[in-house]
Structure 1
Amino acid sequence: MAVTIIDSLHALPADVWDSLLPNPQPFLRHAFLSALEDSGSVGGRSGWQPSHRLWCDEQGALQAAMPAYLKQHSYGEYVFDHAWADACRRAGIAYYPKLLGAVPFSPVTGARLLGDAQAAGQLLAALTAGLSTEGLSGLHVNFTSPACDAVIGACEGWLERLGCQFHWHNRGYRDFQDFLDTLASRKRKQMRKEREQVVGQGIDFERRAGHELTEADWDFVYQCYANTYHVRGQAPYLTRDFFSLLAERMAEMIRVVFARQHGRPLAMAFSLVDGDTFYGRYWGCLAEFDRLHFETCFYQGMEWAIAEGLERFDAGAQGEHKLIRGFEPVITRSWHYLCHPGLQAAVAEFLEQERYGVRVYAEQARSYLPFRQSGEV
């Protein structure tokens, strides 16, 4: 058996690819990844060249796969290796192109080696063995699930990197007030005050699922999304077509919160859902208002997750401001295989220290959570 490389998911029927998925998470579905390709969000001059890796048996049946991309830069990954690339440049070592197993622009933990563990391990071994032949500096696999960690961790030469995100957990709450009742009094009052500030500015909200949205709605969603990049002088990663394609292919997983003031659209938060998780992805506003971001992106999402009986709210990367709103620290993992021995040794030393720091940070972050302690009112 040998690795097969495809430069588009359309080389495979959707049901064949999706049959390898361990759960219904939206980001790994053929519909999501192909929408990135078909919309031009990846490919072309984006620096994300689809290079998906397949492992088939002797009869040609697909046994394992990795969603993968040839990268000419490190943007849109949310695992930051720019310093490694800079060190290579100074040392005269080529860092790009590199191979990345990931979901573009999506810092969401999930399966990256698809299929059963034995076949996935064989695919991984073949990939690392062929890196030099392909002229690649290494293989990076970001935001891996525990099952993926087990496969990669059993292989030699891989370096583990830790990160920290903040997720909110629905502990069987009946409604938002039920959640508030678990908080310390001062934090509870602070959260109520934040929400009242938004209402006091004449802002109201509407929640709509994907099948309820029109192309005019998607125009507004994209305008808000793109504005978050434009105000920083950057180009948005995703194209307008991506949102329409996603609405065609997986509308049942889309959730959008709209904020309006006296009927005038102000802001939106775009999210996806699966069987147990609410994934907050993109937000944007056309005018700034006090606490609008927190209400649109966090509190509305919490209420929606409670209403749908979802267990977890993953609101994306970074954001220590999430802590005081009940989002708890969660360790994330990525794995890195570097071909150059000197680079491998230097990064290994750095990551050993970084892992310790991340664990300490995550533990210390828990002290900022707003939950009521035993004996508190």
Structure 2
Amino acid sequence: MTLQIIASLRDIAPDAWDALVPEGQPFLRHAFLSALEDSGSVGPGSGWSSEHLVLMRDGQCRAALPAYRKWHSFGEYVFDQGWADACQRAGIDYYPKLLAAVPFSPVAGPRLLAAAETDGLTLLQAIPDYLSGEALSGAHLNFTDAALDRSVRTQPGWLERLGCQFHWHNRGYRDFQDFLDSLSSRKRKQMRKEREQVAGQGIEFQWFGGEQVSEAQWDFVYACYANTYLVRRRSPYLTRNFFSLLAERMPSAIRVVMARQSGRDVAMAFSLVGGDSLYGRYWGCLAEFDRLHFETCFYQGMDFAIAQGLQRFDAGAQGEHKLIRGFEPVLTRSWHYLRHPGLRAAVSAFLEQERAGVRAYAEEAKTALPYRQV
């Protein structure tokens, strides 16, 4: 077994990479990650430098860790800026660090791709020595799946961090009205009123697959996406070319819903489909309309999931406003290996308290759900 570093996915055949990716994981496919690289969304000037760890045997890729060398903590959605600030005050270098995550997408899933469990464990065990040899402060595995959680727990030095997201689950609903019937009367009326307010503004919706979206429409999608950052005086993470490359490389996973008023597009939501799940990723509008965000980002996705028989709708990170619309709290996990012993001890103590708080928050959040008591 030899450990190799892949600085660009151009250096590995798509079939060899995708052979390690489980079904239903669009964010880990060669097409998605290479579109980020080739579009310049990650790479020079972004603070994200591709540094994929690959375990080879007899010329065959046996395991891979999609990873990035980072010089900041933006676009991760597992917030460690406080750790970096403490290091700066103490004269400890926190950057660069190694991050295994899907850039700009807080989506849980496999982070360690392997042909066999033993291959994955071998790569996992190689990470601490790799960090030391490269003078990296630590490694961070964000939004992991249960299989990796089990493996990391067997290894010394890794610290567990919990987070909370809100996902909607399709419990065999026949249609949106069937879902509404599962809610308390007050919440059911509130959702119906929100949808009526949007329809009353003359706004209609149309869904597109990736192969159906024209370049002019991608211009509109990107303008909407970028505007969500520009109104906050921030630069968008993704480049315009990313959307075109992704549509070229994996169109079957893409779903875009356009909101139209008087024949003019006014808003959009961009999603990916994988396995039994719909992943809402980006949204934006070029004018303000009452309740349009809730309809475009939540109710349209729920309608689509029901119609397509999808079981789960992950509409993105955070957002307590999702609770009253039926999105349930779900715990997420990340794992952190910090080489500096003092930093590791301090973070370990902090995370122990934070885990208790996150669990308590998730339990309390359930009390805000709109479902009828049975």
Fold shared per TM-score above 0.5: yes
The code of the aligned residue for 1:3 comes to L
How far did residue 60 of structure 1 move?
2.1
The code of the aligned residue for 1:355 comes to R
Within 5 Å, give how 1:1-377 maps onto structure 2: 1-57=1-57, 59-115=58-114, 116-374=116-374
How far did residue 128 of structure 1 move?
1.1
Instruction: Check conservation: 1:271, 1:282, Cα contact below 8 A.
Output: yes
How far did residue 200 of structure 1 move?
1.0
The code of the aligned residue for 1:87 comes to A
How far did residue 61 of structure 1 move?
1.4
Instruction: Check conservation: 1:224, 1:283, Cα contact below 8 A.
Output: yes
Give the TM-score of the pair, scaled to structure 2: 0.99
How far did residue 191 of structure 1 move?
0.3
* Distance (whole Å) between structure 2 residues aligned to residue 22 and residue 32 of structure 1: 14
How far did residue 207 of structure 1 move?
1.1
User: CA offsets, 1:186-238, max 9 Å, x none?
Assistant: 00000000000111111111111111110001000000000000001000000
Instruction: Check conservation: 2:24, 2:276, Cα contact below 8 A.
Output: no
Q: Secondary structure at the match of 2:252?
A: helix
Give the TM-score of the pair, scaled to structure 1: 0.98
Compare 256-265 and 39-48 and name the one that shifted more: 256-265
How far did residue 12 of structure 1 move?
0.7
Q: Secondary structure at the match of 1:144?
A: coil
Instruction: Check conservation: 1:227, 1:286, Cα contact below 8 A.
Output: yes
Instruction: Check conservation: 1:67, 1:102, Cα contact below 8 A.
Output: yes
Q: Secondary structure at the match of 1:130?
A: helix
How far did residue 153 of structure 1 move?
1.2
Identity over aligned pairs, percent: 70
Q: Secondary structure at the match of 1:318?
A: coil
RMSD: 0.7
How far did residue 171 of structure 1 move?
0.6
How far did residue 130 of structure 1 move?
2.0
How far did residue 262 of structure 1 move?
1.1
* Distance (whole Å) between structure 1 residues aligned to residue 16 and residue 105 of structure 2: 23
The code of the aligned residue for 1:359 comes to R
Instruction: Check conservation: 2:142, 2:335, Cα contact below 8 A.
Output: yes
Compare 155-164 and 113-122 and name the one that shifted more: 113-122
* Distance (whole Å) between structure 1 residues aligned to residue 130 and residue 256 of structure 2: 43
* Distance (whole Å) between structure 1 residues aligned to residue 201 and residue 285 of structure 2: 15
Q: Secondary structure at the match of 1:283?
A: strand
The code of the aligned residue for 2:230 comes to H
How far did residue 168 of structure 1 move?
0.2
The code of the aligned residue for 2:201 comes to Q
User: CA offsets, 1:141-190, max 9 Å, x none?
Assistant: 00001011111111010000000000000011111001001000000000
Task: Count residues in correspondence.
Answer: 373
Compare 114-123 and 75-84 and name the one that shifted more: 114-123
* Uncovered stretches (5+) of structure 2, i.e. residues with no partner: none
The code of the aligned residue for 1:77 comes to E
Instruction: Check conservation: 1:2, 1:126, Cα contact below 8 A.
Output: no
Q: Secondary structure at the match of 2:16?
A: helix
